[in-house]
Amino acid sequence: MAIPDPNTVPLRPGFASRMLNWSTWVVLVGLFVVSLQQTGFDVEALTSGSQDFVRFFRRLVPDWTALPQIWRPLLETLQIAYLATLMGTLLGLPLIFLASYNTTVNTPVMWVARSILTVLRSIPDLLYAAILAPILAPGPLPGVVALTIFTMAVLAKLASETVESIDPGPLEALRAVGAGRNRVIVYGVLPQIAATMTSFVLYIFEINVRASVVIGYVGAGGVGFLLLRYLNFFDWGGVAALIVVIFAVVLLIDLLSVWARSRLI
């Protein structure tokens, strides 16, 4: 190899790429300013509203006599989240493998699977619940369906990247043994992704618990339903008690999930 000339000057990035950098910042700042104006974001209104804020929070004294009413819908919320996580995972698994280039059947199937996932993912969970609640009659069922679809879509997105980044060596070895696609997946892919997948599923369960509170609001059962009722009847004591309980439960589940995930791998 030739000895480099000590007077060599490193190449500067070209004019075009420097302009691209600048224009990116200009666009980002521009969007910020336009969004501020058009949403009518007003710092003064924020501060002048603080009077109402204080008054509102004064009323939020938990009325613990509401507790017997709360625990049943709360349990329902957790059940919705649990069912949806489990069913979404089971239904999502085949899609994950079909959507990953190294485990799919063939290229057209892969693109179909990827397209389905993209469409499913582009619709927010709250929208699913809002559409499904009137169709399936308000209650836990639309909640379960909405969050199942959400779980499938999110898990498939996260996991298919994991599947595509695994060590291809064992898969080649299993093909060489004469194993078909399903056996290659069970013996070669699953052991490599099991820990990461479990961590994803726990994380999605966390999200689902929170989401199932919110979707109750549009008639999809659980504790959100109750929250809506309390608010409609100006039952501030009930609202406060409910918020405290939800906070405690979500926090507990988050902690459990973090602990469980830290024990993996």
Rule CB under 8 A: say whether 179 interacts with other proteins: yes
Handedness of CA 135, 137, 141, 144 (dihedral sign): positive
Q: Least Å distance between CB 164 and other proteins? A: 17
Q: Is residue 192 involved in binding other proteins (CB under 8 A)?
A: yes
CA 3 to chain centre: 54
- Rounded to 10 degrees, the C-alpha dihedral 49/50/52/57 comes to 140
Q: How far is CA 74 from the centre of its chain?
A: 21
Is the Cβ of residue 188 or residue 219 nearer to other proteins in the bound state? 188
**194: contact with other proteins by CB under 8 A:** yes
* Residue 245, token pair as written in the block: 């309980």
Q: d(Cα 53, Cα 65) in Å, to the nearest integer?
A: 25
Binding of other proteins at residue 188 (CB under 8 A)? yes
∠ CA(207), CA(75), CA(221), 5° rounding?
75
Please select the residue that binds other proteins; options are 20, 109, 173, 258, rule is CB under 8 A: 173
**Residue 233 and residue 63: Cα distance in Å, rounded?**
14
Q: Angle at Cα 16 formed by Cα 12 and Cα 18, nearest 5°?
A: 60
Position 102 contacts other proteins (CB under 8 A): no
Of 5, 44, 52, 167, the one binding other proteins (CB under 8 A) is 167
Q: Nearest distance from residue 105's CB to other proteins, in Å?
A: 12
Contact code string over 36-55 relative to other proteins, x by CB under 8 A: --------------------
* Token pair for 155: 């898990």
Binding other proteins (rule: CB under 8 A), the pick from 170, 207, 235, 254 is 170
Task: Specify the stretch interacting with other proteins by CB under 8 A; choose among 12-20, 58-66, 124-132, 174-182.
Answer: 174-182
Cα(170)–Cα(176) distance, integer angstroms? 10
* Binds other proteins (CB under 8 A): choice among 24, 48, 65, 182: 182
Residue 93 or 116 having the CB closest to other proteins? 93
Residue numbers of the site for other proteins (CB under 8 A)?
167, 169-170, 172-180, 182-183, 186-188, 191-192, 194-195
